[in-house]
Structure 1
Amino acid sequence: MAESKPTPLEPSKLGTKAYWDALYTTELSTHTSDPSLEGTVWFDDSDAEAKILSYLSPENDDDDHPDHSPHPHNLDPATASILDLGCGNGSLLFSLRDDGWSGHLLGVDYSRQSVALAKQVAESRKNEDLKSVEFKVWDVLNGDIPDISPEHGWDLVLDKGTFDAVSLSDEKDTKGRRINEGYGERVLQLLKVGGIFLVTSCNWTETELRNWFETSTTPNDDKTKLKMVGRIDYPSFSFGGVKGQTITTLCFEKVVVA
């Protein structure tokens, strides 16, 4: 029997575009007044960005990085194309550029204010390389994929909290599903075969994320699916005899269905 989908999250204002537009309007105004205040870096309290950069590093070695499980991808920092879904203030892409990733980096967000903030932060930093990071207004669930995707798809697609936000929306798609249920299908369309999807969540456990993206995501017409190939471990806690993490980062690869 197929495993059932995880229990849906209770809808929240964090699942609405109005909430994010208001947040980034405020952060844009704050940054205009004081460029040192660049806005929220999601999961900063877990040092997620540093761990993601370390995980993706070509020098990643299990002995040196005990908090990583092995990953088979072969991304070249000089050429890898990287898409950040729900880019916010652009922090993750700026960190990647600073870390030597010099290929095509694009951040997309459905909030115009978010994209304006990311562009403004890039202009304000004293680093000319950051100005080559691209940002566009684009809706991951409804935007035309050819508008933002290379011909054969992206090498790496990043999500740091965006699936969480989508999962808090009470909107339905044309099939009558909560809109987060079609998220994996869109990710598949964005990736090249062999491409990597790295997703970070505070709302879903590893088991639930694997269910959403491995089990519940329908293979595309080109007979491809998402397969988990790695993870990042964070400091754990125990409560009531159950061990857990405050956030989860999993790595999926787009593979051809056998």
Structure 2
Amino acid sequence: MAEEIKLNSSKLGTQEYWNEFYERELQNFQSNSDDTGECWFDDSDAESKMIQFIADKLEEGEFAKDISFLDLGTGNGHLLFELSQELKEVDDINFTFHGIDYSAESVAFAKDIANKKFPGFSFKFDQIDLLTDTPFLENKFDVLLDKGTLDAIALNQDLINGKRGMDIYAKQVSKMMQKGSILLITSCNFTENELIKVITSETELTEWDQIQYPSFQFGGVQGSTVVSIAFIK
């Protein structure tokens, strides 16, 4: 598929790292309920741009009613919590918010925040490894969100049934999508062309739209430090 695209291995690609990370985050939150943890890509404002992208598409009538969101690698659930606040004034549309993560500590942390900070909202969080969990992949969602999860997967070069995680990610995610479903993914480790190749090479997904970020030019090549692309099935 995309064998020439390879990132160096890092502890950020291991489950052990994230278990320990979210165990600390959960302990901090239990000691101080104002400490809800890290917001990834905060320096590029990626999360708010992803949320605004969804809100704009809703306003344009691009999404059907009763939208199910799935956050891939939900971490502390921050993206879903902020998305729910943005959409809470939208009338006549029912939203469901579901987050999955392979770290049990992440799921416990997100559930704790949801119960204490958002008691009036309904969130569902499950410990799922999307690269290996076959039964869960039978579920279908309208909008799937990824803010750095593919990045972390690509930092682990361990093989799963002979393939790297980044090479089976798109196929696995595609199983949870139906015709018209959207995958909105943000990455700081892949260029635009690399991300498109990773997602579309062996799936029925095609590029749908992009989020624009400030660009820079280096060595005659123009680009940005963060890429956010929406794919449609």
TM-score, normalised with respect to structure 2:
0.91
Q: Take 1:244 and 1:60, find their aligned partners in 2: how far apart are those partners?
A: 28
Instruction: Tell me the SS of whatever aligns to 1:56.
Output: helix
Aligned to 2:107: 115
The CA distance in 2 between the partners of 1:10 and 1:208, in whole Å, is 15
Moved more, 49-58 or 98-107: 98-107
Q: Which has the higher helix share?
A: 2
Give the SS at the match of 2:67. coil
Q: Distance in 2 between matches of 1:16 and 1:73?
A: 39
**Residue 54 of structure 2 aligns with which residue?**
56
> Which whole-Å CA distance do the structure 1 matches of 2:57 and 2:61 have between them?
12
3-state secondary structure, aligned to 2:199: helix
Number of the residue aligned with 1:15? 13
Say whether residues 1:95 and 2:82 are aligned partners. yes
Gaps of 5+ in 1: 62-71, 220-224
Write out the 4+ residue segments of structure 1 that deviate beyond 3 Å after TM superposition: 3-6, 58-61, 147-150
The question of whether the paired residues in 2 share the 8 Å contact of 1:73 and 1:196 is answered with: no
| Cα distance in 2 for residues equivalent to 1:149 and 1:95 | 27
- Unaligned 5+ residue runs, structure 2? 89-93
Q: Secondary structure at the match of 1:209?
A: helix
The share of aligned pairs that are identical, in percent, is 38
| 1:197-252: CA deviation from partner (whole Å, max 9, x where unpaired) | 0110000011000111112x2x4xxxxx0000100011112222222111100000
Aligned to 1:68: none
Q: Distance in 2 between matches of 1:235 and 1:170?
A: 31
Equivalent position SS for 2:130: coil
Q: Is the 8 A contact 2:2 2:167 kept in 1?
A: no
Q: TM-score, normalised by structure 1?
A: 0.83
**Whole-Å separation in 1 of the counterparts to 2:67 and 2:152:** 27
Structure 1 position 112, deviation (Å): 0.5
Structure 1 SS opposite 2:217: strand
Which secondary structure does the structure 2 equivalent of 1:196 belong to? Answer: strand
Kept in 1, the 8 Å contact 2:130–2:137? The answer is no
Offset of residue 60 of structure 1:
6.9
- Name the counterpart of 1:199: 185
Q: Which residue matches 1:156?
A: 143
